[in-house]
């Protein structure tokens, strides 16, 4: 089985995505989405950005490698009465079901960054985007002090080293790497721009309860806990994550509100 598919089908990312809805809607509002725009949301999950884009009148195709998330997105679109938003399974490294130059806007927010073969991912995003269109990526930044980069950093300390040839998804958060990858797809450096942006995770539960969501439903953290259990270090991992979530929480009334910085990449095709 495809290890990337296995990772993202392992838990239930919808339980994390529920905390990301407000920021998903806010991000889409910045992207100039208009009625009739053809939008691809790559690594769409259950529609955190796809559904707000469809509500603005775009024709949205959501593609994700995880069949459970495709199903969840389809159910959400149906519940919202959105006939202009469809979800399908697909691999960001080979979008074989999508024709060349189909989309006005290709979006991938914390999605395609986790696919292997980053040069193939860049080429596929460029291929399916029409000339004059745009690609917008949201990518976590390596070494960043905010939530998600730190979750992944802490988790990696408890898991076995990756296989030889593994390329860290966090390299999508390094500007030079992004320029090189899209350069390989024929996009000149001057057509790529970067800005730092913020995604906020919001919930009516405590930071410790939010840690439990990651522990039980987020593939990379689930793997870290499984490895830590075998080494008798699960309590250490739990403590590190709870400290992280508590210190970064901005909600002083018992809930959770944790901002995380990411690199927003805009590519003019």
pLDDT in the model for residue 3: 87
Res. 191 pLDDT band, cuts 50 70 90: very high
Q: Residue 164's pLDDT is what?
A: 85
Lowest mean pLDDT among 2-6, 54-58, 185-189: 2-6
Owner of token pair 């130059």: 101
pLDDT band at 269 (very low <50, low <70, confident <90, very high): very high
**What CATH number is given to the structural domain containing 237?**
3.40.50.150
- Average pLDDT value over all residues in the chain: 96
Rounded distance between C-alpha atoms, residue 59 and residue 34, angstroms: 10
If one counts every other C-beta atom within 10 angstroms of the C-beta of residue 266, the result is 14
Locate 6 and state its tokens.
């296995």
Kindly report the number of other CB atoms within 10 A of residue 233's CB atom: 16
pLDDT digits (tens, 9 = 90+) for 231-261: 999 999 999 999 999 999 999 888 999 999 9
For residue 94, what pLDDT is reported?
97
**Domain span holding position 249:** 3-268
Which of the 8 DSSP states describes residue 25?
Answer: H
Mean pLDDT, range 26-35, rounded to an integer? 97
Mean pLDDT of 113-119: 96
| Burial bucket for residue 228 (CB in 10 Å: 0-12, 13-18, 19+) | buried
Q: How confident is the model over 134-185, as pLDDT tens digits?
A: 999 999 999 999 999 999 999 999 998 888 888 999 999 999 999 999 999 9
- Lay out the sheet containing 256-268: strands in order across: 85-89, 59-64, 38-42, 103-109, 129-140, 256-268, 192-203
Please count the structural domains in the chain: 1
- Tell me if 189 sits within 8 A of 262, measured CB to CB: no
- Look at residue 114 and tell me whether its pLDDT is greater than 90: yes
For the entire predicted model, the pTM comes to 0.96
């Amino acid at each position: 089985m495809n290890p990337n598919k296995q990772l993202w089908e392992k838990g239930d990312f919808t339980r994390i995505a529920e905390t990301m809805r407000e920021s998903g809607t806010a991000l889409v509002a910045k992207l100039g989405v208009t009625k009739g725009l053809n939008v691809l949301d790559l690594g769409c999950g259950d529609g955190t950005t796809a559904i707000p884009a469809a509500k603005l009148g775009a024709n949205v195709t959501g593609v994700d490698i995880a069949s459970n998330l495709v199903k969840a997105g389809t159910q959400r679109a149906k519940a919202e009465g959105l006939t202009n938003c469809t979800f399908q399974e697909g691999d960001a490294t080979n979008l074989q079901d999508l024709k060349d130059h189909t989309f006005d806007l290709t979006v991938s927010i914390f999605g395609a960054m986790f696919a292997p073969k980053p040069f193939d991912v860049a080429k596929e995003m460029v291929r399916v985007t029409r000339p004059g269109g745009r690609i917008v990526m949201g990518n976590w930044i390596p070494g960043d002090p905010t939530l998600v980069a730190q979750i992944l950093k802490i988790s990696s300390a408890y898991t076995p080293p990756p296989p030889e040839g593994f390329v860290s998804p966090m390299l999508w958060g390094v500007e030079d790497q992004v320029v090189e990858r899209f350069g390989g797809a024929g996009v000149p450096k001057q057509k790529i721009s970067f800005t730092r942006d913020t995604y906020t995770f919001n919930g009516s539960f405590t930071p410790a309860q939010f840690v439990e969501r990651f522990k039980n439903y987020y593939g990379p953290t689930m793997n870290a806990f499984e490895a830590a259990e075998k080494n008798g270090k699960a309590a250490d991992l739990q403590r590190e994550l709870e400290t992280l979530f508590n210190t970064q929480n901005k909600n002083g009334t018992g809930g959770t509100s944790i901002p995380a910085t990411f690199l927003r990449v805009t590519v003019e095709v």
